[in-house]
Structures are given as structure tokens and as C-alpha cells.
Amino acid sequence: MPLSHNVIEAMAVGTIPILEYPEHFHPPLEHGVNAIIFQGKDDLVNKVREVLQLSAERIAILRKNVVDYYQQNLIGSAFIEKIENHSAPHLCAYMYVTELSVQAFNKS
């Protein structure tokens, strides 16, 4: 399942991501901490049932953790700081663009 900016935008306002690919984030999202992680269709159904049973207090904690994760790892300034302070010989950065963006880039 591809990662989209929609997940990141939703996390910025505290939406708890329900997803199958926590490893696409760095550091990976954690089930029950800052995301609900499922594996396959059957598990998705089970996780949605679990979410529907969560208390308001538990949801508030998850939402706070999501916003904290966003501010520490995904907000622009945090991303730039990680790049500037990167000490390993290689840096992997994911770039999500549309075909139209690629065409415009190639023309420039």
C-alpha cells in the first residue's frame, strides 16, 4: 500500500492512523502508541472493532502521541533538522509526487 501525504496531513491534526505499513515512517509508527497497525483484511476488521471500543481517555492519549510524533518527525523544521544533522554516509528520503510533477521537473 503506497504512502500518501494524506496520512501525514491527517496526523498533523491528531488523526490516529490505521494502516498496514508502519515501517514507511522513520521511526516506524507503533501499534497502540501512535497508530493502529493491521495486517490483512481480517485484521483490519478486528482492529476497527477494537478502536470502536476504546475509551475517550485512550483516544485522547493516542491523538496526543500522534501529534507529538508529527511534531518530532514530520513537520518541516524537524525534517530539515534531521537532514542537517545526519551523520551516516547515505540518506534516504522519500519523495511523493504525481506524474505531472515529474513531467514539470523534467522540463525545467
**What pLDDT is stored for residue 92 in this prediction?**
65
Q: Which amino acid is at 68?
A: D
Q: How far apart are CA 69 and CA 38, in angstroms?
A: 19
Q: How far apart are CA 66 and CA 61, in angstroms?
A: 9
Query: What pTM, to 2 d.p., does this model score?
Result: 0.76
Closest by alpha carbon to 30, among 67, 56, 69?
A: 69
- In 3-state terms the chain splits into helix, strand, coil percentages (rounded to 5) of 55, 5, 40
pLDDT (average), residues 16-41:
95
Share above pLDDT 70 across residues of the chain, in percent, rounded to a whole number? 81
Q: How far apart are CA 44 and CA 5, in angstroms?
A: 21
pLDDT (average), residues 74-94:
76
| The pLDDT of residue 4 is above 70 | no
**What pLDDT is stored for residue 62 in this prediction?**
98
Helix H or strand E encompassing 83: helix 76-84
104 falls in which pLDDT band (50, 70, 90)? low
Closest by alpha carbon to 12, among 81, 102, 72?
A: 72
* Residue, of 52 and 1, whose pLDDT is higher: 52
Lowest model confidence (mean pLDDT) among 15-24, 45-54, 99-108:
99-108
The overall average pLDDT reported for the chain is: 86
Q: How far apart are CA 97 and CA 62, in angstroms?
A: 29
